[in-house]
Amino acid sequence: MTMPSEPTPDLPRPTDLSRPPLTGDRAARLEELLCDRAVFGLDAADEAELALLMGDALDTATGAELVAAAVAVGLTPSVADPPASLRQQLRSDAADFNFVQAAEQARSLPAPTPAQSGLADRASLAALPSAARHRRLRDLTWAFAAAASLIVGFWLGGGYKRPDTLSAPLAQAPARQMEALRAIPDSRTIAWKPTEDPALIGPRDAAEGFDRTQFNWGEVVWSDAEQRGFMVFNGLMPNDPEVQQYQLWVFDAERSADHPVDGGVFDIPGNPGESVQHVVVPIRVKLSVSRATLFAVTVEKPGGVVVSDRSRLPLLAQL
């Protein structure tokens, strides 16, 4: 089985928002999550879901956040003096802060362009005189704004990350290592939850009485302390690595609104159309994961991607 050791040269950059805008239920859900984030903040589960929808644009501040901020200011009729000790601490923090480096980092990040976003109409807005611009803005719908929110706000994300290509030794499933990891006090075992993705659909689906929600799709064994783990798959369909590969994403509570950690690409061996039982794949994250909250498997092009479009998401395991 071929395992590419390098990412393909045409991997999307962090600012490449050229994937098609979300539509239908996914767009509506994105809209809900963006609104909830702006007004209430999100819990870990919703943030993970938003990350799946927004990918590398997760930290893009949106129009909803600006509206919420403006209203929050408007509903703050008076401000209280902070404690003197806090003011002193803020000054001390500022004295220790490297503003020059921060500005350089900020400027080194390429800004997504409207053309990249596929929302070229937005680009023309900036060129219009103010009055005309706002007349046109008036015509924009909220749904459009939700999609456009990927670009109309501010880029809050980190730098370019290369995918951690994982060469999983599937043929030598390290079951013994996995069992040893289970014995570590902080290790956790989480069952996979299925979606309706066709990567899970096999002959068993035709069987009378088959309930995919009750099926044992396998599990994730993970240790934050050890920074390693294993995935067990039951029933995930074999893939042709020349056509597509599976890719793992690990969501980290301490990374907050940052991107999920790329857990690498891997394959499920077997005959086409015949699901395989008990395939063990090691997890080898190269970026530190402080506290994993969600593991997600996507189906990607060979070599994996930096930014998943999340159009294929067969399995999730949430802590």
Q: Which of residues 135-164 bind other proteins (CB under 8 A)?
A: 137-138, 140, 142, 145, 151-159
Whole-angstrom Cα distance, residue 35 to residue 67?
Answer: 10
The answer to whether residue 64 forms part of the interface with other proteins (CB under 8 A) is: yes
Residue (109 or 173) nearer to other proteins, CB: 109
Residue (60 or 247) nearer to other proteins, CB: 60
| Number of CB atoms found within 10 A of residue 258's CB | 17
Q: How far is CA 234 from CA 72, 78, 176, 217, 299, in A?
A: 49, 59, 18, 5, 16
Residues linked to residue 300 through DSSP beta bridges, in sequence order? 245
The answer to whether residue 107 forms part of the interface with other proteins (CB under 8 A) is: yes
Q: Which of 1, 11, 125, 276 binds other proteins (CB under 8 A)?
A: 125
Whole-angstrom Cα distance, residue 5 to residue 264?
Answer: 10
Residue 17 tokens, joined: 């928002």
Among residues 190, 171, 282, 294, the alpha carbon closest in space to that of 228 is found at 282
Q: Which of 73, 175, 180, 191 binds other proteins (CB under 8 A)?
A: 73
The answer to whether residue 292 forms part of the interface with other proteins (CB under 8 A) is: no
Sign, CA torsion 47/64/307/259: negative
Residue (68 or 201) nearer to other proteins, CB: 68
Number of residues that bind other proteins (CB under 8 A): 87
Cα dihedral 198, 200, 203, 205 in deg (nearest 10): -90
> What is the enclosing helix (H) or strand (E) of 138?
helix 130-139
Segment lying near other proteins (by CB under 8 A), choices 119-127, 204-212, 243-251, 277-285: 119-127
- Smallest separation (angstroms) from other proteins to the CB of 261: 14
First to last CA, the chain: 32
The answer to whether residue 113 forms part of the interface with other proteins (CB under 8 A) is: yes
- Smallest separation (angstroms) from other proteins to the CB of 41: 3
- Smallest separation (angstroms) from other proteins to the CB of 74: 4
Residues linked to residue 247 through DSSP beta bridges, in sequence order? 265, 298
Residue (128 or 180) nearer to other proteins, CB: 128
Whole-angstrom Cα distance, residue 26 to residue 22?
Answer: 6
Whole-angstrom Cα distance, residue 292 to residue 231?
Answer: 14
Q: Which of 27, 68, 173, 287 binds other proteins (CB under 8 A)?
A: 68
- Smallest separation (angstroms) from other proteins to the CB of 28: 10
| Residues in 248-267 at the binding interface with other proteins, rule: CB under 8 A | 253, 255-258
- Smallest separation (angstroms) from other proteins to the CB of 183: 29
- Smallest separation (angstroms) from other proteins to the CB of 186: 19
Residue 169 tokens, joined: 């030794």
The answer to whether residue 210 forms part of the interface with other proteins (CB under 8 A) is: no
Pattern 21-50, other proteins, x by CB under 8 A: ----------xx--xxxxxxxxxx--x---
Residue 194, SS3 per DSSP: strand
Q: Which of 5, 10, 20, 81 binds other proteins (CB under 8 A)?
A: 81
Q: Which of 2, 6, 23, 102 binds other proteins (CB under 8 A)?
A: 102
